[in-house]
Amino acid sequence: MAYLGNDGVNRMEEIYASSSFWIYENPEILRLVLLPNTRWQRLASTSTGYIASDLGDTYPQASGSSSSLLRPKALEFSGDMMIATAAVIKATGNTAIISENADLSENWCEYLKLNALYPCQQTTTDGVMTGVPSNNTNLALKEIIPLKAYANIPSNLGQDGPAYSNAAPNYAFQWQSVAEASVGFAASYGESGSWSMCYNLFVDKWSFKR
């Protein structure tokens, strides 16, 4: 998949943005789109606790550039991967994409659990317009949602399942308090005069509660 308007192969933000269409049209296509990213992550010589942003810098050459592991949207891209993966499983009932890569999935979810509630200075796709506010409200929300989704996947309700299912509602409760603004939710924690659409709530409604 090309990155629209720029270089890049199988960019996670593009996969995430198109995932609702594929779930509606053909969830199997979304599963097939996700597989190369997972496979490259396993083969990458540089190991991290988060998903790489893409498979390479110049479409259509999926060179797996190691630079993609160092980009500053690690939290957002990891959330993209886990949301899309959980949506595929919800739509198809096929847990192979998780069970065959349980160690990677657990690493990514552990990264979310450690950083979701307070994303600090991590950037987001919204940063093109909003800059890089500390503790972006919408980004935190996006990372809390897949924790519960991951824990609810039957093949992963083992030793670590309860840790994620317990963290998700706890984080959600705290998020409502720190994200509150004078009207609705703030763009980032503590900025009561700002606001955020918090459109990532759509994912929770669309993907996991149908």
Quick one: pLDDT at residue 112? 93
Helix, strand, coil tally for the chain in percent (to 5)? 55, 5, 40
Which of 19-33, 71-85, 115-129 shows the lowest per-residue confidence on average (mean pLDDT)? 115-129
Number of residues that make up the chain: 210
pTM, 2 dp? 0.86
- pLDDT, one tens digit per residue, over 122-151 is 878 775 555 566 899 999 999 999 888 888
Say whether pLDDT at 55 is over 80: no
Rounded mean pLDDT of 82-93? 90
What spatial distance separates the first Cα and last Cα of the chain, rounded to whole Å? 28
Asked if residues 78 and 53 have their Cβ atoms less than 8 Å apart, the reply is no
Which of 37-41, 54-58, 111-115 shows the lowest per-residue confidence on average (mean pLDDT)? 54-58
Burial of 90 (0-12, 13-18, 19+ CB in 10 A): middle
Q: Is 41 helix (H, G, I), strand (E, B) or coil?
A: helix
- pLDDT, one tens digit per residue, over 58-74 is 666 666 655 555 556 88
Cα-to-chain-centroid distance, residue 44: 20
Please tell me which residue, 31 or 6, carries the higher pLDDT value: 31
Element (H or E) spanning 173, and its range? helix 161-178
